[in-house]
Structure 1
Amino acid sequence: MFDVVLVAPEIAPNTGNVARTCAVTGARLHLVRPLGFRLSDRMLRRAGMDYWEHVEWRVHDTWDELLAALPEARFCYLEPDGPVRYSDLAFAPGDVLVFGSESRGLPREFIRQRPGPVLRVPMRPGLRSLNLASTVALVLYEAYRQHGFPGLV
């Protein structure tokens, strides 16, 4: 129902935890290089546990390759300073939730290249961001909640 994109993820356990969240919800996972770890990294596998076999996932060498793979989808970007609170957006089936790297976020040119809503998770002022895996889970579950958690029990 939804796709999750991690652009240049840096921390293997975060990506493993995101994969686990995708497995339990049925969301597809897309990783856009460069990756800050090897796909054989034991911390990546450990965090994802035995859920990797239940995830539909793909690695894209470039942003353009990802765009070509999802040509009609609406991209929803998560940024700490996004103008729209994530819970105020009406998510639609097929939406693509895009998250940047842990230390740098998303390149602004990506958002300009494929415009879409830029969302934020509310937090106390002066703090940089919520953990990537936590943010993915929060936003993805809100998207599913809005549709009555189809296929989930």
Structure 2
Amino acid sequence: MRLALYQPDIPQNLGAALRLCACLGVALDVIEPCGFPLTDTAMKRAALDYGDKAKVARHASFAAFRATPERQSGRLILIETDGALSFMDFAFSTGDTLVLGRESAGSPGELYEAAQASVRIPMVRGLRSLNVINAGAIVLTEALRQTGAWEKF
């Protein structure tokens, strides 16, 4: 199981994702370019004391991300407000990568085209969206439950 951030805009969200992935033992993919300078110093600052515990892969572009060996198997599952299926009704697999779009602009067409599925979190009518990392944490928790990953802790 992996979590991927597509061109993140907000450094604090990257920090929250690093901490989430470190604590849950999930690899994090950061698909650049980011909306902020992503230097080694910035990564260390964002990760706080969890940096050495997080498994992070940086990708210069979406094409570079898709060309990695991890992408040759497993599915891309897009988490979006207009996802086709509730995340609770989706059957996750251990090789899945959960993809989160940009905070400011959502997911572009290339993410929808590349994804094998899109899931949403049911919400109260009239409300637009959750924080992107909160959404990722909710769906990741269910994916880990379904695939038996919680038994590893």
* Fold in common (TM above 0.5): yes
What is the identity percentage for the equivalent residue pairs of Structure 1 and Structure 2? 37
Name the structure 2 match of 1:127.
127
Cα RMSD, aligned residues only: 1.8
Counterparts of 1:6 and 1:58, CA distance in 2? 11
Name the structure 2 match of 1:5.
4
* One-letter amino acid of the counterpart of residue 146, structure 2: Q
Query: Contact 2:76 / 2:97 at 8 angstroms: preserved in 1?
Result: yes
| 1:78 Cα deviation from its structure 2 partner | 0.7
* One-letter amino acid of the counterpart of residue 61, structure 2: T
* One-letter amino acid of the counterpart of residue 19, structure 1: L
Alignment of 1:142 with 2:142, yes or no, is: yes
- The DSSP-based 3-state class of the residue aligned with 1:16 is helix
- The DSSP-based 3-state class of the residue aligned with 1:126 is coil
Name the structure 2 match of 1:98.
99
| 1:110 Cα deviation from its structure 2 partner | 2.5
- Structure 1 residues 38 and 127: CA distance shift in structure 2, 3 A: same
Query: Contact 1:86 / 1:121 at 8 angstroms: preserved in 2?
Result: yes
Aligned length: 150
* One-letter amino acid of the counterpart of residue 105, structure 2: R
> What is the correspondence of 1:56-135 to structure 2 with a 5 Å cutoff?
56-69=55-68, 70-112=71-113, 114-135=114-135
Name the structure 2 match of 1:22.
21
Query: Contact 2:78 / 2:115 at 8 angstroms: preserved in 1?
Result: no
- Structure 1 residues 62 and 20: CA distance shift in structure 2, 3 A: same
Counterparts of 1:44 and 1:59, CA distance in 2? 11
Q: Which runs of 5+ in 2 are unaligned?
A: none
When the two structures are superposed, what TM-score results if normalisation uses the length of structure 2? Answer: 0.90
Q: Which runs of 5+ in 1 are unaligned?
A: none
Query: Contact 1:3 / 1:28 at 8 angstroms: preserved in 2?
Result: yes
- The DSSP-based 3-state class of the residue aligned with 1:38 is coil
1:84-136 per-residue CA deviation (whole Å, 9 max, x = no partner) reads: 00111111001000000101111122221x24111001112222210011111
When the two structures are superposed, what TM-score results if normalisation uses the length of structure 1? Answer: 0.90
* One-letter amino acid of the counterpart of residue 32, structure 2: R
| 1:40 Cα deviation from its structure 2 partner | 4.0
Query: Contact 1:12 / 1:41 at 8 angstroms: preserved in 2?
Result: no
